[in-house]
């Protein structure tokens, strides 16, 4: 590996501010810094950073659900200028591999029904739409609940 290869590592608490900056620029209703902090401390082993040329270019915040042996993707984003370069898929596949190694056998996520790019990425990596959650987002738009079984 050299400095120009994308590199995935565990998130650290020092990353919270920068993760928040990417989150803020990526979503109309971003998670706040306090919520990101809570998510991180609830499951640091499921939160990942993707670096490129030693800079953070994206992240994935994961967690657990109430359902036994199921993980949850709470947020995933890549800086706009670095999208469509395969980084999102890489960090997602890394998360899924770690989830499986930790003994989890399914992963769920919610995605805006209009977010075609993300839905395509999830379908490509084995997620299936299981239901539509009405008015899931603050602007009353709907989400798909997607699940992937190992």
Ligand X SMILES: CC(C)(COP(=O)(O)OP(=O)(O)OC[C@H]1O[C@@H](n2cnc3c(N)ncnc32)[C@H](O)[C@@H]1OP(=O)(O)O)[C@@H](O)C(=O)NCCC(=O)NCCS
Q: Does 89 bind ligand X (CB under 6 A)?
A: yes
| Candidate list 35, 85, 113, 145; residue touching ligand X; CB under 6 A | 85
Q: Does 115 bind ligand X (CB under 6 A)?
A: yes
Residues in Cβ contact with 65 at an 8 Å cutoff, skipping those fewer than 6 apart:
71, 72, 108
- The nearer residue to ligand X, 31 or 104, going by C-beta atoms, is 31
Taking the complex as a whole, the smallest distance from the CB of residue 80 to ligand X amounts, in Å, to 7
Q: Does 36 bind ligand X (CB under 6 A)?
A: no
- The nearer residue to ligand X, 32 or 117, going by C-beta atoms, is 117
Taking the complex as a whole, the smallest distance from the CB of residue 52 to ligand X amounts, in Å, to 10
Taking CA atoms, 5 is separated from 8, 64, 132, 143, in Å, by 10, 30, 38, 34
Residue 7 has a CB neighbour count (10 Å cut-off) of 16
Taking CA atoms, 58 is separated from 29, 68, 101, in Å, by 17, 28, 22
Query: How far is Cα 150 from Cα 84, in angstroms, rounded to an integer?
Result: 25
| Candidate list 6, 7, 21, 26; residue touching ligand X; CB under 6 A | 26
Q: Does 76 bind ligand X (CB under 6 A)?
A: yes
Taking the complex as a whole, the smallest distance from the CB of residue 149 to ligand X amounts, in Å, to 19
Rounded to 5 degrees, what are φ and ψ at 105?
-120, 5
- The nearer residue to ligand X, 83 or 94, going by C-beta atoms, is 83
Q: How far apart are the first and last CA of the chain?
A: 29
* Residues lying near ligand X in the complex (CB under 6 A): 26, 76-78, 83-89, 111, 115-118, 120-121, 124
């Amino acid at each position: 590996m050299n400095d120009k290869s994308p590199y995935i590592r565990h998130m650290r608490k020092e990353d919270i501010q920068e993760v928040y900056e990417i989150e803020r620029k990526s979503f109309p209703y971003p998670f706040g810094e306090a919520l990101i902090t809570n998510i991180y401390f609830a499951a640091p082993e499921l939160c990942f950073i993707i670096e490129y040329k030693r800079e953070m270019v994206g992240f994935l915040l994961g967690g657990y659900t109430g359902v036994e042996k199921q993980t949850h993707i709470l947020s995933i984003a890549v800086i706009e200028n670095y999208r469509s370069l395969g980084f999102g898929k890489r960090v997602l596949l890394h998360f899924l591999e770690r989830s499986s190694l930790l003994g989890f056998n399914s992963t769920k996520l919610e995605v805006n029904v209009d977010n075609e790019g993300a839905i395509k990425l999830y379908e490509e990596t084995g997620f299936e739409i299981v239901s539509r959650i009405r008015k899931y987002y603050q602007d009353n738009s709907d989400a798909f609940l997607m699940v992937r079984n190992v």
